[in-house]
């Protein structure tokens, strides 16, 4: 997760719980590609990136690696913790 956002020039905390705390919490109906989907209490168990159309990119486990998954599998539904939007830094103001 950190490397994906770092490629866009945005720093995010290391753990999923810290990332959950550092995001703006939104409703599922407001989710946009790039928003973070958290699992477990306070988002401390797992995090994925929403890519739209009901799909997420996640590091499922060491044997599966990074996969695209539906957001609404039984596991995902039972462990859903919330959705967060990264607080992107504003670009510097320019003088006219």
pLDDT in tens, 62-91: 898 999 999 999 999 999 999 999 886 655
Name the domain count of the chain: 1
Q: What is the CATH number of the domain that holds 56?
A: 3.90.1720.10
From the CB of residue 61, how many other CB atoms can be counted at a distance below 10 Å?
A: 8
Tokens 């810290």 locate to 18
Instruction: Write the CB contacts of 46 (distance below 8 Å, at least 6 apart in sequence).
Output: 16, 38, 39, 40, 58, 79
Residue at 93 is within a domain? no
Residue at 91 is within a domain? no
Q: What is the residue range of 39's domain? A: 2-85
Strands (E) in the chain, as ranges, are 24-26, 36-39, 46-52, 55-61, 65-70, 80-85
Model-level pTM greater than 0.85?
Answer: no
DSSP, res 32: -
Residue at 72 is within a domain? yes
pLDDT in tens, 4-43: 778 878 888 888 889 999 999 999 999 999 999 999 987 7
């Amino acid at each position: 997760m950190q490397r994906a956002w770092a490629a866009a020039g945005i720093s995010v905390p290391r753990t999923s719980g810290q990332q959950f705390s550092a995001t703006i919490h939104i409703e599922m109906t407001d989710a946009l590609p790039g928003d973070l989907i958290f699992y477990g209490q306070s988002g401390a168990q797992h995090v994925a990136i929403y890519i739209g159309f009901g799909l997420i990119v996640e590091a499922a486990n060491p044997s599966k690696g990074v996969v695209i998954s539906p957001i609404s599998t039984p596991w995902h539904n039972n462990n859903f913790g919330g959705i967060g939007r990264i607080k992107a830094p504003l670009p510097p103001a320019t003088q006219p």
